[in-house]
Amino acid sequence: MSQSAAPGLARKDRSQERQKRMIAEHFERLARAKEEGRKVVYTFVPGNLTEIIGSLGMLPVLPEINALQSGMRGRSAAYIAEAEKAGHSEDVCTYVKCDLGMLRSGNIGPTGTKLPEPDLLLLSYTGCFTFMKWFELLREHYHCPVAMLHVPYQPNGVITDAMRTYVVEQLKTQVIPAMERVAGRKLDTEELAARLRRSAEAEDDLVAVWESGRHRPSPIDGYFGGVYYIGPIFSAFRGTEEAVAYYRELREEVAERIAAGEGPATPDGPLGNERYRLVIEGPPNWTSFNDFWRMFAKEGAVVVASTYTRVGGLYDTGFRHDASRPLETLAEYCLGCYTNLGLPARVNLLERYIREYDADGFVINSVKSCNSFSAGQLLMLRELEKRTGRPGGFIESDLVDPRYFGKANIENRVQSYLQMVEARRHGAYA
Ligand code: SF4
Confidence check: pLDDT of 226 > 80: yes
Question: Whole-angstrom Cα distance, residue 241 to residue 229?
Answer: 16
The CB density around residue 191, as the number of other CB atoms within 10 Å, is 16
Distance from Cα 129 to the centre of ligand 1, integer Å = 8
Cα 100 to chain centroid, rounded:
20
Q: How many CA atoms lie within 13 A of 399 on its CB side?
A: 30
State residue 7 phi and psi, 5-degree precision. -70, 135
Closest atom of ligand 1 to CA, residue 134: 5
43 ligand 1 Cβ < 6 A: no
Distance from Cα 370 to the centre of ligand 1, integer Å = 5
Q: What would the pLDDT profile of 234-291 be if each residue is shown by its tens digit?
A: 999 999 999 999 999 999 999 999 999 999 999 999 998 999 999 999 999 999 999 9
Query: Could you give the 3-state DSSP secondary structure of residue 198?
Result: helix
93 ligand 1 Cβ < 6 A: yes
| Among the listed residues 153, 127, 155, the one whose alpha carbon sits nearest the alpha carbon of residue 348 | 155
Question: Whole-angstrom Cα distance, residue 60 to residue 124?
Answer: 13
Confidence check: pLDDT of 62 > 70: yes
Closest atom of ligand 1 to CA, residue 127: 3
Cα 57 to chain centroid, rounded:
24
Q: What would the pLDDT profile of 78-124 be if each residue is shown by its tens digit?
A: 999 999 999 999 999 999 999 999 999 999 988 888 999 999 999 99
Question: Whole-angstrom Cα distance, residue 228 to residue 6?
Answer: 7
The CB density around residue 414, as the number of other CB atoms within 10 Å, is 19
Question: Hey, whose CA ends up nearest to atom 2 of ligand 1?
Answer: 370
Mutation pick for ligand 1 pocket among 43, 64, 65 (CB with most ligand atoms within 8 Å): 64
Question: Whole-angstrom Cα distance, residue 86 to residue 101?
Answer: 9
Q: What letter does residue 284 receive in the DSSP assignment?
A: P
Question: Whole-angstrom Cα distance, residue 228 to residue 247?
Answer: 11
Q: Rg of the Cα trace of the chain? A: 21
Distance from Cα 123 to the centre of ligand 1, integer Å = 13
pLDDT band with cut points at 50, 70 and 90 for residue 430? very low
Confidence check: pLDDT of 354 > 90: yes
* Class of residue 385 by CB neighbours under 10 A (exposed 0-12, middle 13-18, buried 19+): middle
State residue 71 phi and psi, 5-degree precision. -60, -45
| Among the listed residues 153, 181, 196, the one whose alpha carbon sits nearest the alpha carbon of residue 55 | 196
Q: Are 278 and 296 in contact (CB under 8 A)?
A: yes
Distance from Cα 256 to the centre of ligand 1, integer Å = 36
131 ligand 1 Cβ < 6 A: yes
